[in-house]
Chains A and B, each alone.
Chain A
Amino acid sequence: DTEVTQTPKHLVMGMTNKKSLKCEQHMGHRAMYWYKQKAKKPPELMFVYSYEKLSINESVPSRFSPECPNSSLLNLHLHALQPEDSALYLCASSQLAGVSYEQYFGPGTRLTVT
């Protein structure tokens, strides 16, 4: 299996809802990433996990809460989001962080906050 999978594909949530995005890879990669991509903009890094430990938080608001339960799974818990948080959320993984390994991207979850 050489793919990063993300669920759900689409998510619509209200500002008071709590939801989670899920990302999974079975390539044995030890680094996993969350990116946010607004329309017609490049991906922007949110979080990096390395060996299941959070190594980078790009000053992301606390209404986004990442979790890495094991080396294959990455979650992004969402709570009290704002309409401006509507975007495509991309997950990626790589063999290791900090070296020139290819990042494999998932197809993304398109989030709409109403």
Chain B
Amino acid sequence: AQRVTQPEKLLSVFKGAPVELKCNYSYSGSPELFWYVQYSRQRLQLLLRHISRESIKGFTADLNKGETSFHLKKPFAQEEDSAMYYCALKRTGFQKLVFGTGTRLLVSP
């Protein structure tokens, strides 16, 4: 069975500092990885997916199959980045999305 691990429940940084939210997964096949974000009082929404290889709101994430990781990075955090971030995995060709336990990012001024 696939599993997603986000080791940090809370990550607190100052504005302008670099941010890295860790995500590790266990799955022997070919996974599809996503980052979802939930801002305060807003609905859960997609931030990034690994197949797109894009940068959204300054965030990037690279799938490292050797280390089975999909860490989310941003070089300079902003206060508006404060939110709950979930890493999620889906098996290619299957419907089920499995979420990690989430990391709350707090960016202080």
Contacts and interface: CB of A to CB of B under 8 A. Distances in A.
Interface of A: 4, 31, 41-45, 48, 50, 55-56, 58, 90, 97-100, 102-108
B44 A90 contact: yes
A102 B46 contact: yes
A31 B101 contact: no
A103 B97 contact: yes
Interface of A is mostly: loop
Interface string B41-85: 001111001010000000000000000000000000000000000
B99 interface: yes
B86 interface: yes
B95 A50 contact: yes
Contacts of A103: 46, 97
Nearest to B49: A100
A-B pairs, top 7 by smallest CB distance, nearest first, are A42-B99, A97-B95, A105-B44, A102-B46, A100-B32, A107-B43, A48-B95
Contacts of B49: 100, 102
B95 A55 contact: yes
A105 B43 contact: yes
B95 A100 contact: no
Nearest to A6: B43
22 contacts: A31-B95, A42-B86, A42-B99, A42-B101, A43-B99, A45-B96, A45-B97, A48-B95, A56-B95, A56-B96, A90-B44, A98-B94, A99-B93, A100-B32, A100-B49, A100-B90, A102-B49, A105-B43, A105-B44, A105-B45, A106-B43, A108-B43
Contacts of B100: 42
A4 B86 CA distance: 20
Nearest to B45: A105
Q: Quick one: which of A42, A90, A98 has the most chain B CB within 10 A? A: A42
